[in-house]
Amino acid sequence: MPPQLLFPIDDIDFEAVQYGADYIEEVNPHRGAMRMLDGICWTDEGLSKAIAFKDIRDDEFWVPGHIPGRPLFPGVLMMEAGAQLASFMTLKRAPELNFIGFIGLDDVKFRGQVTPGDRLYLMGEEVEFRKRRIVCNVQGMVNGTVVCEGRITGMPI
């Protein structure tokens, strides 16, 4: 049985760009090869839910080695992208926190392959928001199919 989406997406324009890469860098500290978000397509009013995307390119640092001749976007980087979405949601809402360090991953599942040429959409939904701890559920989708999911815990550092 396929996993349920975190929230309804029928009315969301996945081609929209609410926040581009330059703006994401104003909020999140990740740069260069470690910036995993290319854009944010949608956020709800309270920034407790959001959808971002990453375009998977064939010139990324992991392509030659994971896996030669059959490049697969590493699962750990899918979760990193989800963590960056959770960070963006938190820091946009509470910029005084400055930096969110991630301290845990739970219930992670990888359900499909992501390869160069794919657009990975990331859905994030806040589960808990406190000044010393945040928890978000994340899912990654390619072509409407959930390819990864997990629960990410972070804290301000």
Residue numbers annotated as active site: 66
Measured CA to CA, the distance from residue 82 to residue 86 in angstroms comes to 6
Asked if 119 and 142 touch (Cβ cutoff 8 Å), the reply is yes
Find residue 126's DSSP bridge partners. 136
Separation of alpha carbons 68 and 70, rounded Å: 5
